[in-house]
């Protein structure tokens, strides 16, 4: 299986994350991809190649242009305001606040465009986000051109990025940009199956009123888990998109047997939809020892996940999402690919 990756994904290393009332070293760090690449080479899973540049046009097909411009200038404006630390939002438009103009000051714009306060911006953020979407687009082109599966080893991840908001370590929604690429190149229907521990709230936001993309997400119950507020079972789409968004909120402590039941139901829905292509938002933070999740999947379970996905029988793109800096992230991510290849 082709793996698309760039060592330059390591360039974005933020120093601060707001977690449990403290500023800590971010869980989303360069070591995540180091573990995965090391395991891919140990297992000889396939060729590793760098991405091609794709410009902003595919991004603007999904994301609001003013939001992307904000990402481009945020660090410059933060520094121009005289701030020395990393850019972290601290004020948001809240319930009952009337909608007004987007603030001029960078502090206000950060809050306007942020969906959460844990994700810091630094000098490398925008370029890292652009590189990550190039990785995804290069991989999706490989699938479209050859029919063979590919793995986009993206960093930063993307599934929390909405049309005009960032958060959850995500800035550009890589799976959404990839799905739109497939549609623009002639596919009629694409399915996105998100198996990250955290709900793919940004992906849901982007496609919630569309019927050409089926979005499905298996995740921790948003009553108790980030990103909260979205991801409930009664969120099924709106207008033309009614019936094309499917959520599987699962309780803390979910083991593989219960999780796999939800996966099987999602697979059945994918088959009923009969898409031209399947995109997997591959999070392995469902692992029992992941530092910011509460499911109990074990490393061997990821082999079975890959095998189940292969049996769907569709051209498939894997896009890396969550799974944090424990060494098993490499084992678990590559086990999904091995299970897929060997099924």
User: Where in the sequence numbering do the catalytic residues fall?
Assistant: 160
Cα separation, 153 vs 313, whole angstroms: 22
DSSP SS3 for 75: helix
Strands (E), the chain: 2-4, 17-19, 22-24, 48-49, 150-152, 190-194, 213-220, 245-250, 277-282, 316-320
- Chain centroid to CA 326: how far? 18
Beta bridge partners of 214: 191
Tokens of 144: 């479209």
Q: Between the CA of residue 89 and those of 107, 119, 235, what are the distances in Å? A: 7, 8, 28
Residue with tokens 């995804």: 136
Cα separation, 332 vs 327, whole angstroms: 9
SS3 content of the chain, % helix, strand, coil (to 5): 40, 15, 45
Cα separation, 143 vs 333, whole angstroms: 19
The reply to whether omega before 156 is within 30° of 0 (cis) is yes
Q: Between the CA of residue 134 and those of 64, 91, 210, 244, 306, what are the distances in Å? A: 18, 32, 24, 27, 24
């Amino acid at each position: 299986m082709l793996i698309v990756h760039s060592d330059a994904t390591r360039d974005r290393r933020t120093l601060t994350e707001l977690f449990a009332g403290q500023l800590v070293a971010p869980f989303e760090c360069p070591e995540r991809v180091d573990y995965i690449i090391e395991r891919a080479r140990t297992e000889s899973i396939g060729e590793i190649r760098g991405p091609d540049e794709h410009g902003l046009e595919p991004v603007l097909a999904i994301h609001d242009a003013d939001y992307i411009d904000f990402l481009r200038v945020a660090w410059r404006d933060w520094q121009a305001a005289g701030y020395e630390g990393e850019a972290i939002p601290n004020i948001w438009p809240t319930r009952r606040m009337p909608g007004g103009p987007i603030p001029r000051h960078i502090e206000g714009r950060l809050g306007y465009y942020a969906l959460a306060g844990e994700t810091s911006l630094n000098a490398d953020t925008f370029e890292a986000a652009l590189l990550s979407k190039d990785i995804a687009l290069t991989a999706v082109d490989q699938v479209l051109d050859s029919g063979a599966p590919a793995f986009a080893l993206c960093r930063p991840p993307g599934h929390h990025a909405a049309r005009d908001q960032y958060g959850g370590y995500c800035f550009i929604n890589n799976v959404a940009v990839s799905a739109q690429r497939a549609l623009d190149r002639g596919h009629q229907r694409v399915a996105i199956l998100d198996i990250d521990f955290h709900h793919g709230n940004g992906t849901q936001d982007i496609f919630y009123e569309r019927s050409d993309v089926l979005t499905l997400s298996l995740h921790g119950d948003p009553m108790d888990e980030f990103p909260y507020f979205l991801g409930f079972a009664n969120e099924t789409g709106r207008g033309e998109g009614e019936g094309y968004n499917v959520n599987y909120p699962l309780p803390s402590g979910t083991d593989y047997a219960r999780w796999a039941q939800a996966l099987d139901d999602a697979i059945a829905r994918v088959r009923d939809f009969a898409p031209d292509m399947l995109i997997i938002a591959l999070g392995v933070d469902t692992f029992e020892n992941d530092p910011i999740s509460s499911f109990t999947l074990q490393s061997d379970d990821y082999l079975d996940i890959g095998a189940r996905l292969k049996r769907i029988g569709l051209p498939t793109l894997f896009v890396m999402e969550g799974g944090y800096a424990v060494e098993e992230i490499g084992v678990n991510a590559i086990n999904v690919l091995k299970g897929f290849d060997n099924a």
